[in-house]
Amino acid sequence: MLIRTRSEVAERVFLEFIREYPEPELLCSSDPERVLDYFSKLGLPSRAKRLIQAVCAVLEECGGEIPCDYRELRRLSGVGDYIARVLLSRVCGKHYSFVDSNVIRVLSRFAGVPLKASEAAGILEEAFAGGDLPPVNVALIDLGSGVCGPRRPRCPECPLREECSYFSSPPAP
């Protein structure tokens, strides 16, 4: 729900959604159009179908237990790389980073080179091999959405500015 959506809007819709669907089984037996209504409020209608597919696949194919294996997760309908990595990190407690456009932007600017998602994920997983990856990952998402925005980064407010390549030599206008 947070993709291209302000967190306060996503939170409001999420809380409404959870009130209507407090149990995953309710989602699988619901009218897909009703679920679509929630995601349409966020401009993400395609996410509704994928969420229903993923939740129902976990219930039907995995006995309601989220598999803690990347390949197994990716085999489930509706689960892509990002969602698999989020689940492995946040639900399974495994050492996986989840990289969105915010994280890629922050790390690319910091390093001074354009990075692909897989490269950014590898950098994070290696740099935080000893732990702290989940809170750092979430902090980078927040930093990218709130301070290091795509159009007008607010570099003077950034806690990474002293070491950041972008801050020390921003591109010419």
Decide: 74 and 57 in contact? Cβ < 8 Å: no
What is the Cα–Cα distance from 107 to 121, expressed in whole angstroms?
10
- Residue 169 binned pLDDT confidence (cut-offs 50, 70, 90): confident
**What predicted TM-score, i.e. pTM, was given to this entire model?**
0.83
88-97, 134-143, 164-173: segment of lowest average pLDDT = 164-173
Tens-place pLDDT, residues 84-138: 999 999 999 999 999 999 999 999 999 999 999 999 999 999 999 988 899 999 8
pLDDT value at position 123?
Answer: 96
Task: Say if 7-91 and 101-167 have the same CATH topology.
Answer: no
User: Superfamily assignment of 7-91 in CATH?
Assistant: Hypothetical protein; domain 2 (1.10.340.30)
- 66 three-class SS: coil
What is the Cα–Cα distance from 67 to 72, expressed in whole angstroms?
6
* Domain regions of the chain by residue span: 7-91, 101-167
What is the Cα–Cα distance from 150 to 106, expressed in whole angstroms?
9
Look at the domain 101-167 and name its fold: Endonuclease Iii, domain 2 (1.10.1670)
Tens-place pLDDT, residues 20-78: 999 999 999 988 899 999 889 888 888 888 889 999 999 999 999 999 999 999 999 88
- 112 three-class SS: coil
- Among 59, 61, 60, 86, which residue's Cα sits nearest to residue 72? 61
pLDDT value at position 172?
Answer: 63
Separation in Å, CA 107 to CA 6, 55, 85, 122: 21, 32, 18, 11
pLDDT value at position 147?
Answer: 95
What is the Cα–Cα distance from 125 to 121, expressed in whole angstroms?
6
